[in-house]
Structure 1
Amino acid sequence: MFDKILIANRGEIACRVIRTCRRLGIRTVAVYSDADADAQHVRQADEAWHIGGARPQESYLRGGAIIEAARASGAQAIHPGYGFLSENADFAEAVEAAGLVFIGPKAASMRKMGSKAGAKQLMQAAGVPVVPGYTGEDQSPERLQREADAIGYPLMIKAAHGGGGKGMRIVRSSAEFMANLESCQREAAGAFGRDRVLLERYVERPRHIEIQVFGDSHGHVIHLNERECSAQRRYQKVLEESPSPFLTPELRAAMGEAAVTAARAIDYVNAGTVEFIVGQDGAFYFMEINTRLQVEHPVTELVTGLDLVEWQLRVAAGEALPLTQTQIPQRGHAIEVRLYAEDPEAGFLPGSGRLERLRLPAPSAHVRIDSGVVEGDTVTIFYDPMIAKLIVHDADRPRALARLREALAECDIVGPKSNVEFLERLARHPAVVDATIDTGYLDRHLDEFAASAAAPDDERLVAAAVAYWLHEEASTRACARASADPTSPWAIADGWRLGHGGRRSLALLHRGERIELHAHGSGGEYRVEHAGRIVEVHGARLRDGTLSLRLDGHARSLRATLDGTRLTVHDGSARLRLEVVPMYQPRTQGGASQDNRVLAPMPGRVVLVRAAENEQVAAGQEVLVIEAMKMELSLKAPRAGRIAEIRARPGDFVEADAVLAVLE
């Protein structure tokens, strides 16, 4: 086994590898960019080396700098994590040439899978089922159009190199093909440096099921069963689980055997994932092999009880696989979701900023948290905006889903917007609960997962107000105890007035709408007025973030938190976020005028400028396209009008809120 390894990555995967190494007594070396000087992986490793600027091209993609750090630090091996250089055959080869061990497959195996077209041909020759399509080298638009028409529609255009859902388009008619081809090639060239594509028949409403494989240098190859990743948005996985609720034992065995055949076909060593697309009829087809550890590997670890990173280290050190195929355990059900700094209500726009508050469920036998940030850290604009992976495990799928809902309810994130509420709705949606979701369901029915614009129900609203009043009273009592006159009647926040009962008022903001509530009483006994209705509240208590009370005789228990002016209550099914605002303030008159500007919603690089100065544009017409955080964003005209000024050119790097175009 190794004495010291370098981790050529960042974030939660770097922290994950550090944990396993610490358990095995292996020292770790982290590398970091300018943006990550205070990151958790830097703090947790035994030592850390600076390798360059904030942008990945200036740091985590600099293979030479990483290898030099490994040699200078005395590391014997390099763990690539996932992303960045993890599937770069040239880097793996350079690591070996430097006399170090690359903890992953050999460069030759990577090269066989580096091209989706070549991989498909190789798998077909090995007898692994593949989707009908075109993988030829002739990439002329005319040839690709002819091949597409011959394959038939719908079909998928896919970048031949790379992954992560980039460079993929579904085309449903011949007339749509050319525009989609150009877009796909442009995205592929930007993401992977090569614009070659392949075409294949699109399987309607497919499931995405992947098989975890492992090989060693002694000729052994096995699989560790499957993970289902059918809940996707724009080809990005949203929820992963194991075992798949769709597979029969016979189909599981057939897919496992095909995955092992695929791995043997490329002489695979170390951890990898064979991804399949599965039709509603159970027919399955090879998609690709990810030649690295997957983001969703924890679900396999929880259902097998194995540490896949430890297996990676042992195999890389020359050891044989610890278990045979028949010895692989399978227990219970595991589900993973990813908490992201993103705004689902703004098209899942990635976010960044300081995590002012980060409350996640405590790890236990049923809940696992993999994260590379803690409260106070910053989600930077330069990398993937993941906050944490939340993984749950229980005896069966219904109980695992219940664990997931409970764990999500305990999450509280303040700072950049997050997808927590979206994930809560996902975990309760019938397509997930009934296990009928396919890879396109979210994109087809995204409105079913959107936040409700309706006014909050009275029960949660009154509960939120009561939580605020209880907190206010407790704070006042605490101040009184610390004062020179702790028994003063003026230190009681009960709204009492001479000659009549006190009336306390509270103004709250919900999605821009102002809500007013009024109450008589104190100490957990209130008569609350809201929108002409009166609610009697008795026995209200707020302890350790839990609010218990009786509303018109009906007992309830809810989670409640107050953070500055931010008030949140969660009834176990959904959360209600409110902002406390001044009760008395002038109201603005009239609405906002139409904006004449097209702004960058976040930092990024301008990819295309679709409009020209003096050009007449319609409301909602695309004016520019920028690339940010691994995705293209279409920026549209806020109203109809004439373009007075274009302030950006393709290739420009722009900051958030920069004015890119101005209308007359």
Structure 2
Amino acid sequence: MFHKVLVANRGEIARRVIASAKSLGYRTVAVYSEPDCDAPHVRLADEAVCIGKGLASDSYSNINNILHAARITGSDAIHPGYGFLSENADFAEACNEQGLVFIGPDSKSIELMGSKRAAKEVMLASNVPCIPGYEGKEQSDKALTSAAESIGYPIMVKASAGGGGRGMRVVNHASELEGALKSARSEAASAFGCDELILEKAMTSVRHIEIQVFADIYGNTIHLGERDCSMQRRHQKVIEEAPSPALTPELRELMGQAAISAAKACNYVGAGTVEFLLTSENEFYFLEMNTRLQVEHPVTELVTNLDLVEWQLRVAAGEKLPLTQDQIQLNGHAIEVRLYAEDPANGFMPQTGTISLWQPALTDSVSGDAFNGIRVDSGIQQGNQISAHYDPMLAKFIAYGDNREQARRRLLRLVQDSHLLGLRDNRCFLSELLQSEAFVSGQATTDFIRDKFTSNASLTSQVVTHEEWLLAALLLSEGPQVESSNLQTTLSFERPIKLGCGDHLRTVKISKECPSSYRISFESKELDQTPIEFQLIECSGHQLRYIADGVMKTATFSINRNGEVPELWLASHRGNLRFTDQTFMVTKDSKAGSSQVLASMDGVVVDLLVEQGQTIKCGDVLIVVEAMKMEHPLRAGMDGIVGNINAQPGDQVKGRQLLIELEE
């Protein structure tokens, strides 16, 4: 028995767990880092405790700080969510030693399945089919090189303790292996505290299928069907759906029973996920087992009409599983995508900044409750600062339908009509994927994005349209009137405004002769001189209704006038656009071009690959910065010689900080 649950996590999963715990009558405790003091999950819980500074190692991954929070609040159970300490065997054991109920499997199961190497050995002994590879204890480069030659290229190098694509490298030729081993070890040690690797035969044109399993302390183990997670980028899931369009009832039963065997092989208790690769010939191979709740668990909840967090709490409290295998029914179809603070057109670079508008469409953004088949699980709110300390996932969009196509249409509209302003995000990328022929037909494999999607418009620099430039000029020029809904001012005028957007500058001429009507055009003769007549109709919150060229439209925007220059974020179907009013800015000549290597964002220097005086070529990797759990190699923008080096491994750096200076 337990009475108060501390949720050792943040963001949308913390909100999700707190909501289910409260619905069952439990008291709840949130923990938070200093940057998260205003986060939604903090206010949702009955109590909250600050557990450290921004770095995860100082807060959400700090076992002592979390256990202290449990002691001072009288918590008698801990739910780890996913990520951070959720698959940390030492944390589960520490909870047990402190007399706390760990809402998850025991430490032995976590330790066993947390090692891909050890897990494969157990699966092979239990006759669960596994991918050919090397999972030996000998970890020298010589042993791994020899194993790679025996397996045959291409191969996958994987962090034994890894997940989420971190510490994972594809190696096509023997000449690439040494570098892949070094970088995979480094990333694995940084992300998971363990640099142990395994090798597997690289499998192409396969599907990624995972089976949700559940077990109680009485030996009952069942599965709740599958999720298809084949739409991936760099081994990270982008779209997840249930059920899989590729599985027949017979294949579902075979994979479900294999997953149950895998769970029983490690005496599993609680919610877990067994992941497989499925070939076009319907042969499947064990990939790994995640000993926690998955990010994509909502699609299973929608097709089974079950609350998986509630099940976790009930099993942890000593109850039997609420249903037997024969009672599990799958109805309809559900699809989920992950909203990330990243710029797909810039190599998916993680983004930081302040959320100036968060407006999910067609749903209650506070509770995340499903409405007409739509559900949004988020851990953000307007005004939150998105930092470089944590994973860039901000929310999940989920849609349910009577069939797959209905769910896809609902999700597409949800993605397109939701707004997140203040930073770039991946909604356009998600929208394009949901409309791709491969996904619509249910034929996507894990190679699709890499092999067939790289030329998609969502992955190229956004071109600002004629109308977007002119609308931005109007909003920045007339902002106070627009934001106060005072659209009927009669003052006539004609004036220019200079706008910046990315690396581009435009001067726009705005004239007004009657209330709420404007005539706007570019001043430069080299640009399209066709003016646009704008008639403003209504402004409500962050939405402006207007008529342009005879068509009534709605623009979503936010304006910030508190910084060095007035700033406008404008929603576009291709992505969020940031405009600045440069009318009164004094420009200075700058030599901050290719001769300077700047930090791409806030982070930690993890590797310095050059020394002062060294000759380098354009494109060479000079320094590596880790941010948002990923390594970001920074390259030379010119041929030359390394001059001043202003950062060393272990240094905390800020975005745009000068790290290395190059000389001709």
- TM-score range normalised by the length of the shorter chain: 0.7 to 0.9
CA distance in 2, matches of 1:191, 1:338: 21
Aligned partner of 2:549 among 548, 551, 558: 551
Structure 1 counterpart of 2:601: 602
- Cα 1:550–1:72 change in 2 (3 A) is closer
SS of the counterpart of 1:87?
Answer: coil
Alignment match, 2:408: 401
CA distance in 2, matches of 1:302, 1:337: 14
The aligned counterpart of 2:657 is: 658
Displacement of 1:15: 1.2
**Partner Cα distance (2:37, 2:588) in 1:** 47
Q: Are the equivalent residues in 1 in contact too, given 2:462–2:575 (CA < 8 A)? A: no
Distance, in Å, in 2 between the alignment partners of 1:188 and 1:244 is 31
Q: After the TM superposition, which of the residue ranges 224-233 and 463-472 deviates more from structure 2?
A: 463-472
Report the more deviating stretch, 73-82 or 287-296: 73-82
Most deviating of 287-296 and 176-185: 176-185
Matches within 5 A, 1:38-187: 38-187=38-187
Question: Residues 399 and 605 of structure 1: is their aligned pair in 2 closer, same or farther, counting only changes over 3 Å?
Answer: same
CA contact (8 A) 1:459 1:551 kept: no
For residue 366 of structure 1, report the CA deviation from its aligned partner: 2.2
* Preserved contact between residue 605 and residue 651 of structure 2 (Cα < 8 Å): yes
Cα offset for 1:270? 0.5
* Structure 2 residue corresponding to 1:563, chosen from 559, 564, 578: 559
What is the match of residue 198 of structure 1? Answer: 198
Tell me the CA shift for residue 351 of structure 1.
2.6
1:599 to 1:367, Cα distance in 2 relative to 1, 3 A: same
> What secondary structure, in the 3-state scheme, does the structure 1 residue paired with 2:486 have?
helix
CA RMSD of aligned residues (A): 3.1
The change in CA–CA distance for 1:210 and 1:449 in structure 2 (over 3 A counts) is farther
Matches for 1:377-456 after TM superposition, within 5 Å: 377-444=384-451, 445-453=453-461, 455-456=463-464
Q: C-alpha displacement at 1:523, in angstroms?
A: 5.8
* Deviations 1:127-173, CA, capped at 9 Å, x for gaps: 21111111112222222212111111111111122322221111112
Decide whether aligned partners of structure 1 residues 455 and 59 sit closer, same or farther in structure 2, where only a CA change above 3 A counts: closer
Cα distance in 1 for residues equivalent to 2:407 and 2:592: 49
Greater shift in the superposed pair: 299-308 or 170-179: 170-179
Residues 1:48 and 1:528: Cα distance change in structure 2 (over 3 Å): closer
The verdict on how the C-alpha distance between 1:284 and 1:522 changes in structure 2, with shifts beyond 3 A counting, is farther
SS class of match (1:31): strand
Q: 1:641 and 1:540, CA in 2 relative to 1: closer, same or farther beyond 3 A?
A: same
Query: In structure 2, what is the Cα distance between the partners aligned to 1:479 and 1:515?
Result: 23
Contact 2:618 2:639 in 1 (8 A): yes
Query: Which residue is 1:612 aligned to?
Result: 611
TM-score between the two structures when normalised by the length of structure 1 = 0.88
TM alignment of 1:507-518, pairs within 5 A: 509-511=500-502, 512-514=504-506, 516=508
Residue 579 of structure 1 aligns with which residue? 579
Instruction: Return the TM-score normalized by structure 2.
Output: 0.88
Q: Which amino acid aligns with 2:305?
A: G
SS of the equivalent of 1:224 reads strand
CA deviations 1:233-288 (Å, max 9, x no partner) are: 22221221212222233222221121111111111110000011122322211011
SS at structure 2 position matched to 1:219: coil
Which amino acid in structure 2 is aligned with residue 561 of structure 1?
Answer: F
Q: What residue identity is the alignment partner of 2:656?
A: D
> CA distance change for structure 1 residues 641 and 457 in 2, over 3 Å: closer, same or farther?
closer
Whole-Å Cα distance in 2 between the matches of residues 467 and 651 of structure 1?
Answer: 44
For the residues of structure 1 that align with 2:408 and 2:442, how far apart are their CA atoms? 11
Q: Distance in 1 between matches of 2:89 and 2:10?
A: 20
Q: Which runs of 5+ in 2 are unaligned?
A: 365-370, 561-566
Distance 1:187 1:578, change over 3 A: closer
Q: Provide the C-alpha distance between the structure 2 equivalents of 1:656 and 1:111, rounded to a whole number of angstroms.
A: 37
Q: Give the percent of matched residue pairs that are identical in Structure 1 and Structure 2.
A: 43
Secondary structure at the residue paired with 2:51? strand
Q: Partners in 2 of 1:31 and 1:464 — Cα distance?
A: 41
- Aligned match of 2:367: none
SS at match of 2:335: strand
Distance 2:39 2:186 in 1: 33
Could you say if the C-alpha distance between residues 467 and 85 of structure 1 is closer, same or farther in structure 2, counting changes exceeding 3 Å?
Answer: closer
Q: Which residue of 1 aligns with 2:381?
A: 374
SS in structure 2 of the partner of residue 446 of structure 1: coil
| Change beyond 3 A, Cα 1:330–1:558 | farther
C-alpha distance in structure 2 between counterparts of 1:587 and 1:86, whole Å: 51
Any idea what SS the aligned residue of 1:113 has? helix
Rounded to whole Å, the distance in 2 between the matches of 1:510 and 1:109 is 52
**What displacement does 1:54 show?**
2.8
State the Cα distance separating 1:400 from its structure 2 match: 1.9
Give the Cα separation in 2 of the matches to 1:83 and 1:250: 33
CA 1:586–1:14 in structure 2 vs 1: closer, same or farther (change >3 Å)? closer
Partner deviation per Cα, 1:597-654 (whole Å, 9 max, x = no partner): 2222223222222111111111121111122221111111121111122223333333
Q: Secondary structure at the match of 1:52?
A: coil
Q: Show CA shifts across 1:166-208 (max 9, x none).
A: 2111111222222222222222223223222111111112221
Q: Tell me which moved more, 219-228 or 28-37.
A: 28-37
| In structure 2, C-alpha distance between the alignment counterparts of 1:529 and 1:596, rounded to whole Å | 37
Stretch moving more, 96-105 or 391-400: 391-400
Q: CA distance change for structure 1 residues 474 and 596 in 2, over 3 Å: closer, same or farther? A: closer
Change (3 A) 1:563 1:451: farther
Indicate the SS of the match to 2:289.
strand
1:282-317 CA-to-partner distances (Å, cap 9, x unmatched) read 221101110001111111112221111000000011
| In structure 2, C-alpha distance between the alignment counterparts of 1:653 and 1:569, rounded to whole Å | 33
Residue 486 of structure 1 corresponds to none
Comparing 125-134 with 373-382, which one deviates more in the overlay? 373-382
Select the structure of larger CA radius of gyration.
1
Q: Deviations over 1:47-96 (max 9, x none)?
A: 12233333222222232332333233222211111112111122212212
1:492 aligns with 2:499: no
SS at match of 1:300: helix
Which residue does 1:208 correspond to in 2?
208
Compared with structure 1, are the counterparts of its residues 532 and 8 closer, same or farther at alpha carbon in structure 2 (3 Å cutoff)? closer
Deviation at 1:472, TM superposition (A): 7.8
Q: Supply the distance in 1 between the matched residues of 2:429 and 2:86 (Cα, whole angstroms).
A: 30
Whole-angstrom distance in 2 between the partners of 1:85 and 1:150: 36
Written as runs of structure 1 = structure 2, the 5 A alignment for 1:617-628 is 617-628=616-627
- Over 3 Å counting, the alpha-carbon distance change for 1:547 and 1:578 in structure 2 is farther
Shift of 1:443: 3.3
Superposed displacement of residue 346, structure 1: 2.8
User: Measured at CA, do residues 520 and 44 of structure 1 come closer, stay the same or move farther in structure 2, by a change above 3 Å?
Assistant: closer
Post-superposition Cα deviations, 1:395-419, rounded to whole Å, max 9, x if no partner, equal 2222222222222233322333322
Distance 1:194 1:39 in 2: 31
Distance 1:356 1:121, change over 3 A: same
CA contact (8 A) 1:341 1:387 kept: yes
SS of the residue corresponding to residue 262 of structure 1 reads helix
**Structure-1 separation of matches of 2:482 and 2:8:** 50
State the alpha-carbon separation in 2 of the partners of residues 4 and 590 from structure 1: 60
Q: In 2 relative to 1, CA 412–123 (structure 1 residues): closer, same or farther, beyond 3 Å?
A: same
Cα distance in 2, alignment partners of residues 38 and 245 from structure 1? 41
Specify the SS of the correspondent of 1:271.
Answer: strand
User: Counterparts of 2:340 and 2:577 in 1: how far apart (Å)?
Assistant: 18
| In 2: Cα distance, 1:352 partner to 1:72 partner | 33
Structure 2 counterpart SS, 1:169: strand
